[in-house]
Every structure is written in structure tokens, then in C-alpha cells.
Amino acid sequence: MANVVPVTEQDSRVHNYGVTEEDSLAHLDLGFKFYDLSDDVHGVLGQTYRSDYVNKLSVSASMPVMGGAPSYVVSDIFSTDCTVARFGRRAGISMVTATAS
């Protein structure tokens, strides 16, 4: 399911989007329904569908990051060495508990 919601002047003012009269912005709201997912899922969407998922987001944070910002720190801009990366190494993946077959 997809729904396009226009960003109003009030939305811009409340959320500080900086929309001007020349702009035409909208939010794209997407809904997903997955069937027969295994627990070997990760990422923003994937981990929320795990059977043991617990939401750790602080909705009071100014810019909430799923899993906490420290989980996404890398050694340089092109590295994939953060603790939740699934590229280039086998260890340190915090949400994955089994290997996909």
C-alpha cells in the first residue's frame, strides 16, 4: 500500500522543512506485508519483522537511529566496518542469529 501526503505550510513550520511557495513536497507513506519471513532478516525493515524484535528507539531523540548511532560508526566514509554491516566480514552482526540456507 502506498499513500502520498502533501507537506502543508503548517507541516513545514512545525517540522522546520523550509518549504517555500515554489516548492511542492510530499511524504510517501508505504505499507508492507511480508509472508513466511525467517529470523535471518536485518536492516530497518527486516529487523522489525523478527519474531523477537524489541523496539529500542527513543522517540524523544531529535534524530532517532534504529539500533543506536554507535552501531553505524565506520572508520571512513567508504567503509562497511560498522557493527551491523553484512558486507566484507562474518562477525559482529548484532541482529542475525542464523545463517540463511
Within this chain, do residues 91 and 46 fall inside the same structural domain, yes or no? yes
Within this chain, do residues 42 and 25 fall inside the same structural domain, yes or no? no
Strand partners, 6: 26
Within this chain, do residues 41 and 75 fall inside the same structural domain, yes or no? yes
> Closest by alpha carbon to 4, among 33, 32, 44, 31?
31
Please, what's the largest Cα pairwise distance for the chain? 53
pLDDT in tens, 7-22: 888 888 898 888 888 8
Within this chain, do residues 44 and 65 fall inside the same structural domain, yes or no? yes
Within this chain, do residues 61 and 88 fall inside the same structural domain, yes or no? yes
Report the length, in residues, of the chain.
Answer: 101
Domain-embedded: residue 101: no
Instruction: Provide φ and ψ at 89, rounded to 5°.
Output: -160, 165
pLDDT in tens, 36-65: 777 777 666 677 777 787 777 666 766 666
Within this chain, do residues 49 and 88 fall inside the same structural domain, yes or no? yes
Q: What is the DSSP letter of 72?
A: G
Q: What is the C-alpha to C-alpha distance for residues 89 and 50, in angstroms, rounded to an integer?
A: 22
pTM for the predicted model, two decimal places: 0.34
Within this chain, do residues 86 and 43 fall inside the same structural domain, yes or no? yes
